Amino acid sequence: MNSSIKKSRIVHLNRITKIYGTNEHKTIVLQQISFQFLTGELILLIGPSGSGKTTLLTLIAGLTKPTTGTVSLFERNIEHYTPMELQQLRAKRIGFIFQTFLLIDSLTAIENVEVVLRFIGKPKKDVHLRATQLLNRFHIEYLSRRFPPTMSQGEKQRVAVARAVANNADLILADEPTGSLESKQGFDIIRLLQTYAKEQNKCVIVASHDLRLVEYADQILRLEDGMLREMD
Amino acid sequence: MDIYAVRILKSQPLRLILTIGGVSLCVILMLFLLAVYQGVADGSVEYIRKNCVDLWVLQSNATNILRGSSLVSAPQEQSIRQIPGVKSVSLVLLVLSTVKKGDKARTIFLTGFDPKDGIGGPPQIIAGRSIQGDNEIVLDKSFASKFKFTLGDSVKIQEHMLKVVGISSGTNALVIQYAFVTLHFAQKLMGFPGIATCFLVQVKDINNIDEVANEIRNIVPGIEVYDHKTFLENNIQEMESGFLPLLYTVALIGAVVLTVILSLLLSVNILERKKDFAVLKTLGSPPGFLKRIIIVQALLISFTSSIVALIIFFPLVKVIERISPEVTTKLSVEQILAVISVVAAMSLISSFISMQKLRRIYLLEVFK
């Protein structure tokens, strides 16, 4: 990445706490977490299962609200977004990669990518062109007309990455993206995301319990007992 | 994304076929009811419509001939004939009677008219000819077909033998069919010469029709006078009051069944793809996107079902008419379009009902 590219703040977590349940049944999932996520970085969020990694991702995406504290997304408190604005934000500026990729089985690979482009209101012709370019970029043009159930995990993974970056998202949230992959495929996906963060000056947040990914991360955050710790 | 809607439907072919089958049956039911209604409506009042005289004169308090009794007499006829504006007076006598062929006895609406002037006779003869004498009869097509009467057959009414000389159409009122004999024979059957159900009056100058009608009312006591349009409307109204409530009830049941079938399919499709829909929501699908998928599915099913129903309907009606000739159907393009519009409207209602399921799709499901 060109060092002259200016990094900007995408997400700002300010003393956020997330509690599920009430009174004696309450569970503190996240506790007094503060952090800033910048563009041009791949941030690895590690921690054991149930440590709150996914909850943190859903807070950042605006899918759920913190019990206390504030989440600022693109320099605006998430509480100040209307549901419609949040939907548009997810469509236009956020990309998602899920643990099992969650491609739509009834749609072909190219349609899975096109669907996201449709959400941002691109003209039909441009949608197809952009989706084709993305499949070429990730070397999966041969999958264009194939449906997810006929694809390998590695192929699904690449389609999922193509879908996540289709809208040129400023923020990619990846939840255990290597969880269902073999080592090589897992490293492939992280490298793709790392390249995207560096070359496009975007912010990629990867939640994982796979410690082998640390060498690809610009920052490593460890979640344990609801607390966030930066690791060197 | 319409292709997605289609793929969802195609992913469960058996369910799709069953749904289209169910909706098609509902469409056929609605088309059939409408066609029967139109057939009955025409058959019930075609006789009146085709006998387009200026005035219909009935006994006081009688408004129609379908479900009302009226008796008028020869002296009243003479009084009407003497009114200066009256050109002609024809008598019609309607009698519920039994026609026998061999050991079979069937009830029929026997219509006595004067074959010399032809007024009050069958609206259309489709085989043979009209009657000329007392020993002849014209039978309704459906009646003749159902009970296997053909031209030249002899039928027995009371102790009289009559020869079938003609077959008429537009004379089937579903529950009863018209047959035509001479006025003289009908009066003889009743045992009251000179009696009739109504007078069919022609006026000399159509511009004076109201004056003539008033004159008849003034001179002849105990009668009602109607112009042709009013009398036709009275009979249509009478026919509808007996038939339409049944039609509406069955049609409503058909529409409700259609809506339920469609709503079930659409709801099951949503529930089965809960995760897909949650993914689409998380990825930022606009509010109308998922709703559009549901609506497209509903409209695709209703359109396909309507086509299937139309393909099946016409051959099916032919079979039904062959088995039950008294069932006469009639269907216009406008009526078909009306049914398809109703089906489309019901499918939209189904999609709106099913859309409620979308509210139960939570974005966080994709992170489970």
Closest CA in chain B for residue A107: B4
For residues A164 and B269, the model is more confident at: A164
Q: Which of B7, B285, B364 has its CB closest to that of A107?
A: B7
**What is the pTM (predicted TM-score) of this model?**
0.77
Q: Which of B4, B7, B366 has its CB closest to that of A98?
A: B366
- A22 sits in the region (left: phi over 0; alpha: psi -120 to 50; else beta) called beta
pLDDT digits 0-9 by tens, B180-226: 999 999 999 988 888 999 999 999 999 999 999 999 999 998 899 99
How much is the average pLDDT of B350-368?
Answer: 85
User: By the CB < 8 Å criterion, does A32 face chain B?
Assistant: no
Euclidean distance between CA atoms B238 and A201, whole angstroms: 81
Residue A220 reports pLDDT greater than 90: yes
How much is the average pLDDT of A94-98?
Answer: 93
Residue B136 reports pLDDT greater than 70: yes
CATH class of A39-54+84-231: alpha beta
Identify from B6, B277, B283 which residue to disrupt to test chain A contact, counting A C-beta atoms within 10 A and taking the largest count.
B283
Percent of chain B with pLDDT over 70: 100
User: By the CB < 8 Å criterion, does A92 face chain B?
Assistant: yes
Q: What pLDDT sits at residue A100?
A: 84
User: By the CB < 8 Å criterion, does A175 face chain B?
Assistant: yes
Q: Which residues of B touch A (CB under 8 A)?
A: 1, 3-4, 7-8, 11, 273, 275-276, 279-280, 282-287, 289, 363-364, 366-367
The residue whose two tokens read 């059957």 is: B189
Look up residue B106 and give its two tokens.
């069937």
Contacts of A157 (CB under 8 A, 6+ apart): A101, A177, A181, A185, A188, A189
**By C-alpha distance, which of B302, B296, B299, B290 is closest to B355?**
B290
**Å from A4 to nearest chain B CA?**
32
Q: What pLDDT sits at residue B217?
A: 92
**Å from B250 to nearest chain A CA?**
39
Closest CA in chain A for residue B284: A91
3-class DSSP assignment, residue B265: helix
Euclidean distance between CA atoms B185 and A186, whole angstroms: 101
**By C-alpha distance, which of B202, B352, B209, B338 is closest to B288?**
B352
- B281 sits in the region (left: phi over 0; alpha: psi -120 to 50; else beta) called alpha
Residue B66 reports pLDDT greater than 90: no
Give the residue ranges of DSSP H helices in chain B: 2-10, 13-50, 74-81, 141-146, 183-190, 209-219, 228-272, 274-282, 287-323, 333-355
Percent of chain A with pLDDT over 90: 62
**Where in chain A are the domains?**
39-54+84-231
Alpha carbon B296 to its chain's center:
34
Q: Strand A68-73 vs strand A76-77: parallel, antiparallel, or unpaired?
A: antiparallel
pLDDT band at A7, cuts 50/70/90? Answer: confident
How much is the average pLDDT of B238-254?
Answer: 82
Amino acid identity of A77?
Answer: N
pLDDT digits 0-9 by tens, A22-74: 877 888 899 999 999 999 999 999 988 888 888 999 999 998 999 999 999 99
Give the residue ranges of DSSP H helices in A30-123: 53-60, 83-93, 109-119
From chain A, pick out residues whose CB is under 8 angstroms from the CB of B2: none
Contacts of A213 (CB under 8 A, 6+ apart): A44, A46, A178, A186, A187, A190, A206
Residue B1 reports pLDDT greater than 80: no
Helix-helix angle B209-219:B74-81, to 10 degrees: 140
- A32 sits in the region (left: phi over 0; alpha: psi -120 to 50; else beta) called left
B173-to-A97, A103, B177, B275, B350 alpha-carbon distances in Å: 69, 62, 6, 57, 37
Dmax (CA) of chain B: 97
From chain B, pick out residues whose CB is under 8 angstroms from the CB of A161: none
Q: What pLDDT sits at residue B368?
A: 72
How much is the average pLDDT of B108-133?
Answer: 92
3-class DSSP assignment, residue A31: strand
Backbone angles phi, psi at B241, to 5 degrees: -65, -25
pLDDT digits 0-9 by tens, A203-217: 999 998 888 888 889
User: By the CB < 8 Å criterion, does A179 face chain B?
Assistant: no
Euclidean distance between CA atoms B112 and B196, whole angstroms: 9
Q: Strand B104-113 vs strand B178-182: parallel, antiparallel, or unpaired?
A: parallel
Euclidean distance between CA atoms B231 and B342, whole angstroms: 32
Quick check: A107 and B4 CB within 8 A?
yes
Strands in chain A per DSSP E:
9-20, 27-38, 41-46, 68-73, 76-77, 94-97, 171-175, 203-208, 219-224, 227-231
From chain B, pick out residues whose CB is under 8 angstroms from the CB of A100: none
Euclidean distance between CA atoms B178 and B185, whole angstroms: 15
Contacts of B157 (CB under 8 A, 6+ apart): B97, B98, B99, B100, B110, B137, B181, B189
Q: Which of A64, A115, A118 has its CB closest to that of B364?
A: A64
**Where in chain B are the domains?**
2-44+242-367, 61-221
DSSP3 helix / strand / coil % (chain A, rounded to 5): 40, 30, 30
Quick check: B282 and A63 CB within 8 A?
yes
Look up residue A2 and give its two tokens.
């060109």
Backbone angles phi, psi at B295, to 5 degrees: -65, -45
B112-to-B92, B141, B179 alpha-carbon distances in Å: 6, 18, 9
pLDDT digits 0-9 by tens, A135-148: 998 889 999 999 99
Residue B3 reports pLDDT greater than 90: no
**By C-alpha distance, which of A138, A14, A121, A33 is closest to A78?**
A14
Helix or strand run (H / E) with residue A132: helix A124-137
Closest CA in chain B for residue A207: B367
Mean pLDDT of chain B: 89
Nearest 5 degrees, angle CA A116-CA A119-CA A122?
95
Q: What pLDDT sits at residue B104?
A: 75
- B151 sits in the region (left: phi over 0; alpha: psi -120 to 50; else beta) called beta
pLDDT band at A1, cuts 50/70/90? Answer: very low
**Å from A3 to nearest chain B CA?**
31
Q: What pLDDT sits at residue B174?
A: 73
Residue A4 reports pLDDT greater than 70: no
Burial of B211: CB neighbours in 10 Å, binned 0-12, 13-18, 19+? middle
B301-to-B127, B274, B293, B339 alpha-carbon distances in Å: 44, 21, 12, 15
A185-to-A43, A98, A190, A211, B231 alpha-carbon distances in Å: 19, 15, 9, 15, 86
From chain B, pick out residues whose CB is under 8 angstroms from the CB of A207: none
From chain A, pick out residues whose CB is under 8 angstroms from the CB of B273: 106
User: By the CB < 8 Å criterion, does A168 face chain B?
Assistant: no
Using an 8 Å Cβ cutoff, are B157 and B149 in contact? Answer: no
How much is the average pLDDT of B261-283?
Answer: 88
Euclidean distance between CA atoms B341 and B337, whole angstroms: 6
